[in-house]
């Protein structure tokens, strides 16, 4: 992923390809289509990637690179655990807004190993940061000190996955934003001690 910080042309090609895949899906686009849409020669495209599978993998690497960079900035800021968690959730909310079920189905069907590998890496990264946030909140006296950080973080990730794959009929009339908002608030209330809940109540708007 180092090329994303050293080669602007490479990053631009991967970013534009990511948008094309999001718009048209993964199966229908050929490398000829991609080169034409990007306004580059196939020779230029193959200078950066070996084939379409490699290009798809690079789009995943760029997504994870940006997620890690953004989270690192948040972790290094002077936010307490509750503030940090809420800011992280805003990013994840934006990430979910870009979710296209049809494109994801396309990816799962034709590139299952790439999809599985990417999701495992992404989930592991989010899990690690949720766990670190829980430990931070305990140290700051905002979260309950009897929490099992590993289990709590794992349960939160499981809820996120379920929300991502949600097809429950009785939730059809609710927006994703509303469901996500309730899930976040329930999580904070469940793990916070009285001081944390009081802080959340005061600042949740």
Q: 130 or 105, which is more confident?
A: 130
Residue 131, in any domain of the structure: yes
* Residue ending a domain, choose from 34, 60, 86: 60
Domain count, the chain: 2
What are the pLDDT digits (tens) for 6-37? Answer: 899 999 999 999 999 998 999 999 999 999 99
Residue 69, in any domain of the structure: no
Residues 133/147, Cβ–Cβ less than 8 Å: no
Question: What pLDDT, on a 0 to 100 scale, did the predictor assign at position 165?
Answer: 65
Mean pLDDT for 181-198 is 96
What are the pLDDT digits (tens) for 143-176? Answer: 999 999 999 999 999 988 887 665 656 666 777 7
Mean pLDDT for 119-126 is 94
Clarify whether residues 49 and 103 are in a common domain.
no
Residue 67, in any domain of the structure: no
Clarify whether residues 41 and 124 are in a common domain.
no
Domain that holds residue 10: 1-60
pLDDT over 80 at 187, yes or no: yes
Clarify whether residues 133 and 32 are in a common domain.
no
Clarify whether residues 126 and 44 are in a common domain.
no
Clarify whether residues 40 and 8 are in a common domain.
yes
Residue 68, in any domain of the structure: no
Clarify whether residues 195 and 104 are in a common domain.
yes
Question: What pLDDT, on a 0 to 100 scale, did the predictor assign at position 205?
Answer: 66
Q: Which tokens belong to 107?
A: 């990816």
Residue 177, in any domain of the structure: yes
């Amino acid at each position: 992923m180092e090329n994303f910080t050293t080669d602007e042309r490479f990053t631009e090609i991967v970013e534009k390809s990511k948008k094309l895949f999001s718009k048209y899906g993964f199966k229908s686009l050929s490398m000829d289509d991609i080169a034409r849409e990007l306004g580059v020669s196939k020779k230029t495209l193959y200078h950066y990637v070996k084939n379409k599978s490699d290009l798809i993998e690079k789009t995943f690497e760029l997504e994870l690179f940006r997620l890690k960079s953004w989270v690192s900035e948040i972790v290094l800021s002077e936010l307490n655990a509750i503030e940090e968690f809420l800011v992280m959730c805003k990013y994840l909310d934006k990430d979910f807004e870009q979710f296209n079920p049809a494109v994801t189905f396309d990816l799962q069907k034709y590139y299952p190993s790439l999809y599985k590998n990417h999701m495992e890496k992404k989930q592991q990264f989010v899990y690690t940061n949720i766990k670190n946030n829980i430990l931070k909140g305990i140290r700051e006296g905002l979260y309950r000190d009897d929490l099992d950080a590993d289990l709590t973080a794992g349960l939160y990730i499981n809820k996120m996955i379920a929300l991502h794959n949600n097809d429950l009929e009785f939730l059809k009339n609710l927006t994703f934003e509303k469901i996500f908002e309730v899930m976040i608030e329930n999580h904070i209330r469940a793990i916070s001690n009285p001081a944390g809940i009081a802080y959340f109540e005061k600042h949740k708007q």
